[in-house]
Structure 1
Amino acid sequence: MSYKRFPTPIRVIIKQGRENIIATAWDAVEFLRRWPGKRGIAYRRALQHCLDALDGILSPKRAWASFTAAAKEEGFLA
C-alpha cells in the first residue's frame, strides 16, 4: 500500500497542546481514528476521502483538502 503523500504537510494541534504533522493520507486516517473533536459531516467526508485516496479512487490532493477542512472546522489547524 502506498501512503499517498499530501501536497503539503498539515500541522494540527489538539486541545491538550499535542502537535501532529499529517503528511500522508495514511497519517490522516490514523489521526481521524482517534479524532478528539465532533464527528460530523466534515469528519466523515475527510475519513472517506482519505480512505479513497489510499485505494487510488481519489487524489491525495482531494483527501488533503477534506482533511484540512475538517481540522479547520474543529480549530485544530496551527
Structure 2
Amino acid sequence: MSYKPFPTPVRVIKQSQQNIIASAWDAVEFLRRWPGKRDNAYRRALQHCLDALDGIRSAKAACASFVTAARQAGILA
C-alpha cells in the first residue's frame, strides 16, 4: 500500500502541538484522533483520504478535503 503523499504538507494544531500531515495515511491517522466536531466536512475528509489510499481518489483531492475540515474545525496552522 502506498501512503499517497499530499502535494503540500498540511500543518494542524492539536492541544498546542503542531502536527505535519504529509499523506493520506497521515491524515487518516490524525482523523481517527480528531479534536473537533465530527461533522460533514470531517466525514468527507475521512472518506476522501480512505478513497485515496484505495486508489479511487487522488491525493490532491484528499488533501483539499482534509484542509477544508481542518479549517472548519479551527485547527489549520
Q: TM-score normalized by structure 1?
A: 0.97
Aligned partner of 1:27 in structure 2 is: 26
RMSD after superposition: 0.4
Structure 2: 5+ residue stretches without partners: none
Aligned partner of 2:11 in structure 1 is: 11
Structure 1: 5+ residue stretches without partners: none
Aligned partner of 1:60 in structure 2 is: 59
Q: Does 1:75 align with 2:36?
A: no
Distance of 1:62 and 1:55 partners within structure 2? 13
Q: How many residues align?
A: 77
Which consecutive segments of 4 or more residues in structure 1 shift more than 6 A?
Answer: none
Q: TM-score normalized by structure 2?
A: 0.98
1:5 Cα deviation from its structure 2 partner: 0.4
1:70 Cα deviation from its structure 2 partner: 0.1
